[in-house]
Structure 1
Amino acid sequence: MKHARVIYEGREHTGTAHEFGGLPDAAVRLDDGRVVFQDLLTWLPPLAPTPRPRTILALGLNYADHAKELEFKAPEEPLVFVKGEGTLTGHRQATRRPRGVQFMHYECELVIVVGRTAKKVRRDDAYDFIGGYTVANDYAIRDYLENWYRPNLRVKNRDTCTPIGPWLVDAKDVADPMALALRTTVNGKVTQSGNTRDMIFDAPFLIEYFSSFMTLSPGDLILTGTPDGVVDCQPGDVVVTEIEGIGALVNTIAAA
C-alpha cells in the first residue's frame, strides 16, 4: 500500500493512494474517507507523526557510475553523512537555489524506512527490519563542497533541500527493491536514468552495516545514493525524480 501525509482544508491527514480515471495514484483517500485529487493537497514528507526519524543517514558515491562521473574511485566501505529532519520537504513543494551559486543539482535516491528496532542484524535477516520505501531528491550545491567524501552542512543540511515522497510504500509491496529503475526529468527532459541493482552497497548490506555499531529505530531513514547524470538546475525548473513502483516526486526550483 502507498501511504501519504498531506494537508487539506487546513488540517493534516494521512491517506492512501487512490485510483481515478485509470491512474492509480491520481488522488488520495484521506483518513476520514474523502477522496481528493493530488493537486488540491499540500504534501508533507510521508512519515508517520510518530515515530519521527531519530536518524537520517545518507550515502555518498554509492553508484560506481556516479563515482566515475565525479572522477573518484568507487568506495570500499560506505561513505555516510547525517542529515537533520529540517532538510525534508514534501511532494510538489519548492526548493530554493541560493543567489550566486554556480552548480546546484538533484540526486534521485531510493530511501529505506526502518520498520522496527534493528541492532546487530545479519544480512540474511535485513529485510525483516525494513518497513517501507520512498523517493528522495537530495539536492547538492557544488559551490559549497569541500570534500565529496564528507559533505559539509551547507551542501546537505540546508532547510528544505531534500524533497521526499510522495508515497511511503509498504516493504511487502516491493518485490525486489534492488531491481528498480530510477529516472529524473528536468522540464520533461530525461537527464538521469539508472537502476538500484547498480548500488555498490545494497539495502541488506546497509542494514547489517549500520546496525553493527548503532541502533536503528522505527522511522529512521537511509538515503541510498544516486546514479550518474546530474545536471545544474535553475530557478523555475521542474524536477521529477521517479523510482519504479515507488512513485514520482515533483519539485520546483525557486530563487532565493
Structure 2
Amino acid sequence: MKFLRYGPAGAEKPGLLAKDGTIRDLSGQIADLSGPVLAPDALAKLGAIDVNTLPVVDGSPRIGPCVAGTGKFVCIGLNYSDHAAETGAAVPPEPVIFMKATSAIVGPDDDVLIPRGSEKTDWEVELGVVIGKTAKYVSEADALDYVAGYCVSHDVSERAFQAERSGQWTKGKSCDTFGPIGPWLVTKDEIADPQDLPMWLKVNGETRQDGSTKTMVYGVAFLVSYLSQFMSLHPGDVISTGTPPGVGMGQKPPRYLKPGDVVELGIEGLGTQKQTFRADA
C-alpha cells in the first residue's frame, strides 16, 4: 500500500493512493499517519479497507511529509562505498550516525530554502526507513518486523556548515526545509528487496546521481538493529540511510545549488520529489 498525507502544511490529512491513481481520504478512519497506526498490522488493516468506500480527494492537493509525529530523524553518513570513494573518505568500520532536526521536515514538492550565508548547499537522494513499532535491542534477523515502510528522503546538506565550521554535522543538515520526505509511505510488502532499489537525482534536468541501494555498506536490517542498541526507535522515527555518488561536493570542480535551481529525485517504487530552491529571507 501507498499511504500519504495531503493538504496545507500543518493541517495535513491521511490518505491512501488507490491503484487508479486517485487519492482516497482516510481521515474518517484515522486521525493521522502516526503512532500505533504505523504498526505493520495496523497498516495492513487500513490497506484491507475497500477503496471504493473511501472518499475521493478532488483536485491536486499539496502532498505533505508522508509520516507525522517523527520524534527522531536519524541519518547515516558515508554508507555507500562508491560515495565514500568520491569524497575521499574511507568506508567506516561502523555506521556514521548523525541527527537531522525534525523541524527540517517538509513535503516532497515543497520549496527548499537556502539558508543565510550558504555557499555550499548540496543534494543527496536517500532511502528513508519509517519505524512502525518500538524497537529496542532488536536482532538483525527480526529488525524488519519493526519497519512500517519506506520513502524517498532528500538529505539536503550545507557542506560548509557541516564540515568547515567545527563541531558536529548536525548544523549543516538541519536547516529549515532540509528534510523533504515522501510522497508516499510504501509498506514493506510492496518492496521485495530494499537492497535492490534504483535511485536517481537531477538538477535542472541534468542527471547528477544514478545509483542503487545495492551499494549500501550497511543494509536496512543491520541499521535498524544497530541503532536499536543505542536508542529506542519509536513509531514515526525516520532513518535516512545514506546516498550514492554524484553529490555536488564530489563534482570536479564542486557544484552547489543556487536560488532558482530545480531538483528532481526518486527511488523505484517509492515515487518522486521535485523542489525549487529559494533564498531564505
Contact 2:115–2:175, Cα closer than 8 Å, also in 1: no
Of 55, 66, 82, which aligns to 1:33? 55
Of 219, 227, 250, which aligns to 2:274? 250
Q: Distance in 1 between matches of 2:222 and 2:165?
A: 22
Q: Does 1:80 align with 2:75?
A: no
Contact 1:134–1:169, Cα closer than 8 Å, also in 2: yes
Contact 1:135–1:243, Cα closer than 8 Å, also in 2: yes
Q: Distance in 2 between matches of 1:183 and 1:150?
A: 31
Of 234, 254, 260, which aligns to 1:236? 260
Tell me, which stretches of 5 or more residues in structure 2 are unaligned?
A: 27-53, 249-255
Question: Alpha-carbon deviations, 1:199-232, whole Å to 9, x = none?
Answer: 0110111111111232111111111010110122
Tell me the SS of whatever aligns to 1:166: coil
Q: Distance in 2 between matches of 1:105 and 1:63?
A: 17
Contact 1:60–1:149, Cα closer than 8 Å, also in 2: no
Q: Call closer, same or farther: CA 1:75–1:136 in 2, change over 3 Å.
A: same
Residue type of the alignment partner of 2:273:
L
Residue type of the alignment partner of 1:172:
D
Tell me the SS of whatever aligns to 1:252: strand
Q: Distance in 1 between matches of 2:157 and 2:12?
A: 29
Residue identity over aligned pairs, in percent, reads: 38
Q: Distance in 2 between matches of 1:125 and 1:156?
A: 30
Structure 2 residue aligned with 1:17: 17
Q: Distance in 2 between matches of 1:178 and 1:103?
A: 30
Structure 1 segment 119-134 matched on structure 2, within 5 A = 119-134=136-151
Q: Call closer, same or farther: CA 1:220–1:99 in 2, change over 3 Å.
A: closer
Of 177, 197, 200, which aligns to 2:194? 177
Of 194, 212, 225, which aligns to 1:195? 212
Q: May I ask how many residue pairs the two structures share in their alignment?
A: 245
Q: Greater strand share, 1 or 2?
A: 1
Q: Distance in 1 between matches of 2:244 and 2:166?
A: 16
Contact 1:79–1:149, Cα closer than 8 Å, also in 2: no
Q: Call closer, same or farther: CA 1:101–1:85 in 2, change over 3 Å.
A: closer
Structure 1 residue aligned with 2:37: none
Shift of 1:150: 7.1
Q: Call closer, same or farther: CA 1:204–1:153 in 2, change over 3 Å.
A: closer
Q: Call closer, same or farther: CA 1:6–1:56 in 2, change over 3 Å.
A: same
Shift of 1:147: 6.5
Tell me, which stretches of 5 or more residues in structure 1 are unaligned?
A: none
Q: Distance in 2 between matches of 1:213 and 1:145?
A: 23
Residue type of the alignment partner of 2:58:
V
Tell me the SS of whatever aligns to 1:218: coil
Question: Alpha-carbon deviations, 1:77-118, whole Å to 9, x = none?
Answer: 010011221010002101111345322111101011111111
Cα RMSD for the two superposed structures = 2.1
Task: Using structure 2 for the length normalisation, give the TM-score.
Answer: 0.81
Q: Distance in 2 between matches of 1:6 and 1:217?
A: 23
Task: Using structure 1 for the length normalisation, give the TM-score.
Answer: 0.89
Structure 2 residue aligned with 1:43: 63
Shift of 1:123: 0.9
Tell me the SS of whatever aligns to 1:124: coil
Q: Which moved more, 1:147-156 or 1:55-64?
A: 147-156
Structure 1 segment 80-229 matched on structure 2, within 5 A = 80-146=97-163, 151-229=168-246
Q: Distance in 2 between matches of 1:146 and 1:155?
A: 8
Tell me the SS of whatever aligns to 1:165: coil
